[in-house]
């Protein structure tokens, strides 16, 4: 049902992006349609379509996504004032690319995400 996405081409550097970080587990790059002053996508180099497909073998990758997000936030100068990390799962959440990814947003006041 799920197939490789454009993110695979980004990971393999077949498509040029504003690359922020890459190692053996994750790749991070600036979103081409930013929703905040700083909007960076952090993706695993392993194809995982949705959060529902995450298994215990992926824990190291997910942990790396978080530590890389914190490093990038610091490097971008937004760690002190704050930032938001968002991961969506399936269509009701707004997931558009079926290769899990984390949005790192900051550089401005973001306001409340949801009214609960």
Active-site choice (53, 58, 92, 101): 101
Domain interval for residue 39:
6-106
Give a yes or no: residue 38 inside a domain. yes
Give a yes or no: residue 56 inside a domain. yes
Under the banding of pLDDT at 50, 70 and 90, the label for residue 112 is confident
Strand ranges in 1-116 using DSSP code E only, listed in sequence order: 19-22, 26-30, 38-44, 83-86, 102-106
Give a yes or no: residue 115 inside a domain. no
Q: Look up residue 53 and give its DSSP letter.
A: G
Give a yes or no: residue 20 inside a domain. yes
Give a yes or no: residue 95 inside a domain. yes
Give a yes or no: residue 10 inside a domain. yes
Give a yes or no: residue 39 inside a domain. yes
CATH code (residue 33): 3.30.428.10
60-105 tens-digit pLDDT: 999 999 999 999 999 999 999 999 999 999 999 999 999 999 999 9
Q: Look up residue 63 and give its DSSP letter.
A: H
Give a yes or no: residue 29 inside a domain. yes
1-21 tens-digit pLDDT: 678 899 999 999 999 999 999
CA pair distance 28, 10, nearest whole angstrom: 10
Enumerate the β-bridge partners of residue 21: 28
Which pLDDT does position 78 carry in this prediction?
Answer: 98
Total of domains in the chain: 1
Q: Is 101 a catalytic residue?
A: yes
């Amino acid at each position: 049902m799920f197939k490789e996405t454009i993110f695979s081409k980004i990971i393999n550097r077949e498509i040029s992006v504003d690359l922020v970080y890459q190692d053996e587990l994750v790749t991070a790059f600036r979103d081409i349609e930013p929703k905040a002053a700083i909007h960076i996508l952090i993706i695993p180099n392993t194809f995982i379509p949705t959060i529902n497909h995450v298994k215990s073998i992926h824990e190291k990758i997910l942990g790396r996504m978080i530590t890389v997000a914190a490093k990038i936030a610091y490097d971008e100068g937004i760690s002190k004032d704050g930032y938001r990390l968002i991961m969506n799962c399936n269509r009701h959440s707004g997931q558009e690319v079926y290769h899990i990814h984390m949005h790192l947003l900051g550089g401005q006041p973001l306001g409340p995400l949801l009214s609960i």
